[in-house]
Structure 1
Amino acid sequence: MDKVKVGSLFSGIGGIDLGFEQSGFEIAWANDFDAAACKTYRNNFPSTILIEDDVRNINPCALSDIDVLVAGFPCQPFSVMGYRRGFNDPRGNLFFEIARFIDVKRPKVVFLENVKNLMEHDNGKTFLVIYNALAQFGYSVKYKVINATDVNIPQNRARIFIVAFRDIEDCDKFSFPQYAPLEATIDDVIDRSIKHDDIYYYGSESRYFKALNTKIVDKTGIYRIDDSGIATRKWEICPTLKANMGTYHDRVPIIRDDFGIRMLTPMECLAFQGYPKKYTFKGVSLKSAYKQCGNTVCVPIIKSIAAKLFELM
């Protein structure tokens, strides 16, 4: 039986694609503009056609037909952590590139992911523009805010997931998965008994060394540094992993392990996004790896929704 084909825009390192692939879909083609993210994508999806280019330069007519279009389009214009400029930000306008692909390809399903604040941005007007654009092409829409904790991943990461159907009967049949309360802890994800490379540890030369050692006195919980310094709160689950981890090394969440106080490693960050251990970074800088971890998605959420779509299709 032919597999259900997926086309992917703003693919990043492939978190959405991975969740769909794990649910039985086939990724026909993918696109991203960031060279480092594309390098990571190719390392982990060697057989997928990846177009490394600005989406605005791509002619959808030149690409194979698909059943599902997925896109985790840029969230910074809508995030409470950014400037919230929305469609006034060039990155926000990239949603209309998705609409351009929908208009040409007319997939059976459109799957979108963005920050939770998309619903409230500009008093709901931004979300209404997106909803109306999908409706204009004849799609029926369902959406839900889901947190990583809902799929037993101990990270505070709430995102909105939008699923649009060309066939209203498919929309009526679809329902988002039911989720169970969080049971996993951060120590199910990290192992404090493992010594990592010295680059991850805060040594005496760090301006944070004294304060961190004063504050982080036991090997429980997780911490982070923000604009005001070392955050006073000790997190029982991982705080939201952000793309600015790649801009400021001290924005990476911090723990005390058996060997000192250190940042999470990129592979631990991927684990807090629900990625499998076989997923790797090769040939990219540490800063790029952290940025990619913060920019990606919680894979088990994608898999859970994709599995419901696969049953339907």
Structure 2
Amino acid sequence: MSYNVGSLFAGVGGICLGFKRADERFQLSFANEMDKDACKTYSTNFNHNLIEGDIEKILDPNILFRERDFLQTRFTELSNIDILKSSYDEQFIKDCMKSLNDPFLVSVLMKGNFDLTDSLKKKASKFGYDEEAIKEFIEYQLVKINLENYSDEKLNPKFEELKIKNGEIKAERIAVLTAGFPCQAFSIAGERKGFSDHRGELFYSVINLVQQLEEVGHGKPRVLFLENVKNLVSHNDGNTFKVIKSELENLGYTLKYRVLNTYKYTTLPQNRERIFIVCFLNKADAEAFGSFEKIPELKRTREELKQSLKEILDYSITKETNPELYYTRGKYPQYFMTEEEFLKSGKNEWINLDKDINEMYEVYQVRRGMYVRKNQSGVCPTLTANMGTGGHNVPLIKTHDGIRKLSPKDCFNLQGFRVGTEYFFPDKLNLSALYKQSGNAVSVDVIELIAKRILKAFLKVDNEVKVDKTTGLKIYKTSIQNVVTEIDDKESDLLLKSLFEIKKLLSDDLNLINFKEELRKQIMIKLSETL
């Protein structure tokens, strides 16, 4: 007995690895991811089908033509405005283009939600630019550049490729569909725009795929497994989560959810609070799963947490082997001020990392560039996607030969990936990409913990299918006789009529999940023999 698992927004495969590690009966069927660097890392570690690309376009390839029509219309509109007569700082325009031209730009433009970021608005204000005028000028430039990607020569092959991927993603019946849908729209670290941010709307791709799987005859996945930031629950006064919950319940799912902190439920010493939503199509599965409240906290001592840090972080790294990781006076003089330099500086806070970071197997941060703080829980603070960009809030540790930031290997291991033994980095991928991937990833051990509970529920329900062999054979033969003359009917109709005969003879509360699947196979065999 096995259960197929499909994964949307797979990233580098944290959720997939958790299910794979939980039990071999979870069979990874496909994964979808659009970030090219993440796909490289994923492909290095998994052999099953990775369907690369924008899931919205894979599920609806005709979006391409709607985007082209919009861009052509918008280009004409903007061309008729006097914005092109204005003159702007060349470097500022380049910064705007680099910051705003992301994979979701056209979708954002189509929804009328295009805007400059707060930081770009501040820069525009310093130049004395009119905000609306500069926004229209940037939009014109972006539309012009993106139109180049929508010529017939480029569009038609893309459309055909998306149609093939649409077939691949719906090729098999899926027992568990997982989705760590983008969290930036709800995260405290982001701007928290929710569904007004296109990334927040990507949740609806989960709904769309469930419906399409049902339409092609595979039925809905037995379980939906969703993960996001804890702020999803409280975003927009709880209304965002109400919408998500309502959409899932309208599909027929029963929801179980809770915010779990990584270090409280696993041996991974990281403070990482995430909401996990497990949606069950069958009430029997939901009841067998129970509640998240029954998952016990580990309640480890600070010394035990310290020991975990010692075991997970790589203290064999040195200045000689990895100088790029180390904080030195030459690189960051503001973080190594002497007392004399501090008194002359006129600053309110004195930072000297040699003085402030003084314990091994502890994790520190320079907060807002003003003071150093040791994590009070004795664990690593939440890893983030922008750790590789430097700045404040980067986790720092004391080593045998200085102060350094966490390495990509440290970060992945704090997420439970076990780099070097179970998981490997691809060749020629820069450090900033790896930091981003680890910060966007899930804690694998938490996924494994929940996946095991899902499997336990599946097995409990499926093992309750106790059909007496003799009685079952008689019922089976009767059912075959009743349907074999109706060969022109669809398979589903045959199956339903067969099950109806069985249901009349068996107790109403008997679970028929496994028996139904086996009956489907046997009926098709008998029908093929008859033909």
SS state at 1:81 partner: coil
Which residue pairs with 1:215 in the alignment?
A: 356
Which residue pairs with 1:293 in the alignment?
A: 438
Which residue pairs with 2:296 in the alignment?
A: 178
Partner residue of 2:284 out of 156, 164, 169:
169
State whether residues 70 and 111 of structure 1, in contact with CA within 8 Å, keep that contact through their aligned partners in structure 2. Answer: yes
In structure 2, distance between residues paired with 1:233 and 1:184: 14
Residue type at the aligned position of 1:67: A
State whether residues 5 and 67 of structure 1, in contact with CA within 8 Å, keep that contact through their aligned partners in structure 2. Answer: yes
Q: Which of 196-205 and 218-227 deviates more?
A: 218-227
In structure 2, distance between residues paired with 1:8 and 1:249: 33
State whether residues 7 and 70 of structure 1, in contact with CA within 8 Å, keep that contact through their aligned partners in structure 2. Answer: yes
CA, structure 1 residues 35+178, in 2 after alignment: closer, same or farther (shift >3 Å)?
same
State whether residues 356 and 372 of structure 2, in contact with CA within 8 Å, keep that contact through their aligned partners in structure 1. Answer: no
> Superposition pairs for residues 224-303 of structure 1, below 5 Å?
224-235=365-376, 236-248=378-390, 251-277=393-419, 278=421, 279-282=423-426, 283-303=428-448
In structure 2, distance between residues paired with 1:178 and 1:218: 31
- Between Structure 1 and Structure 2, which shows a larger proportion of strand residues? 1
In structure 1, distance between residues paired with 2:370 and 2:34: 33
Which residue pairs with 1:103 in the alignment?
A: 211
The reply to whether residue 153 of structure 1 matches residue 261 of structure 2 is no
In structure 2, distance between residues paired with 1:250 and 1:199: 17
SS state at 1:26 partner: strand
Q: How far off its partner does 1:188 sit? A: 2.9
Which residue pairs with 2:95 in the alignment?
A: none
In structure 2, distance between residues paired with 1:36 and 1:304: 28
Which residue pairs with 2:242 in the alignment?
A: 128
SS state at 2:398 partner: strand
Q: How far off its partner does 1:71 sit? A: 0.6
Which residue pairs with 1:113 in the alignment?
A: 227
Q: Deviations over 1:250-282 (max 9, x none)?
A: 653110100110011111111111112321222
Which residue pairs with 1:12 in the alignment?
A: 11
State whether residues 247 and 291 of structure 1, in contact with CA within 8 Å, keep that contact through their aligned partners in structure 2. Answer: no
What CA RMSD, in Å, does the superposition of the two structures yield over aligned residues? Answer: 1.8
> Superposition pairs for residues 86-101 of structure 1, below 5 Å?
86-101=194-209
State whether residues 61 and 104 of structure 1, in contact with CA within 8 Å, keep that contact through their aligned partners in structure 2. Answer: no
In structure 2, distance between residues paired with 1:120 and 1:300: 25
Which residue pairs with 1:52 in the alignment?
A: 52
- Between Structure 1 and Structure 2, which shows a larger proportion of helix residues? 2
Paired residues, what number? 311
Residue type at the aligned position of 1:184: L
Residue type at the aligned position of 1:156: N
State whether residues 19 and 451 of structure 2, in contact with CA within 8 Å, keep that contact through their aligned partners in structure 1. Answer: yes
CA, structure 1 residues 231+133, in 2 after alignment: closer, same or farther (shift >3 Å)?
farther
Q: Which runs of 4+ in 1 moved over 6 A?
A: none
- Which structure is larger by alpha-carbon Rg, 1 or 2? 2
SS state at 1:111 partner: strand
SS state at 1:91 partner: helix
TM-score (norm 1): 0.94
State whether residues 244 and 251 of structure 1, in contact with CA within 8 Å, keep that contact through their aligned partners in structure 2. Answer: no
Q: Which runs of 5+ in 1 are unaligned?
A: none
Q: Deviations over 1:65-109 (max 9, x none)?
A: 211100101111111121111011010010111111122221000
In structure 1, distance between residues paired with 2:282 and 2:375: 47
State whether residues 249 and 287 of structure 1, in contact with CA within 8 Å, keep that contact through their aligned partners in structure 2. Answer: no
Residue type at the aligned position of 1:50: L
TM-score (norm 2): 0.56
In structure 2, distance between residues paired with 1:246 and 1:220: 21
Which residue pairs with 1:138 in the alignment?
A: 252
Q: Deviations over 1:198-225 (max 9, x none)?
A: 1111123212541322321332421123
Which residue pairs with 2:28 in the alignment?
A: 27
In structure 1, distance between residues paired with 2:48 and 2:432: 25
In structure 1, distance between residues paired with 2:212 and 2:395: 42
Q: How far off its partner does 1:40 sit? A: 0.3
State whether residues 369 and 391 of structure 2, in contact with CA within 8 Å, keep that contact through their aligned partners in structure 1. Answer: no
In structure 1, distance between residues paired with 2:359 and 2:382: 22
Q: How far off its partner does 1:234 sit? A: 4.1
Partner residue of 2:324 out of 192, 199, 220:
199
SS state at 1:280 partner: coil
State whether residues 56 and 97 of structure 1, in contact with CA within 8 Å, keep that contact through their aligned partners in structure 2. Answer: yes
Q: Which of 153-162 and 244-253 deviates more?
A: 244-253
In structure 2, distance between residues paired with 1:133 and 1:116: 19
Q: Deviations over 1:152-185 (max 9, x none)?
A: 2111001100000111111111133333223432
SS state at 1:76 partner: coil
In structure 2, distance between residues paired with 1:61 and 1:128: 32
State whether residues 141 and 164 of structure 1, in contact with CA within 8 Å, keep that contact through their aligned partners in structure 2. Answer: yes
Q: Which of 172-181 and 144-153 deviates more?
A: 172-181
Q: How far off its partner does 1:241 sit? A: 0.2
Query: Which one has more relative contact order, counting CA pairs under 8 Å at least 6 apart?
Result: 1
SS state at 2:360 partner: coil
CA, structure 1 residues 310+89, in 2 after alignment: closer, same or farther (shift >3 Å)?
same
The reply to whether residue 187 of structure 1 matches residue 310 of structure 2 is yes
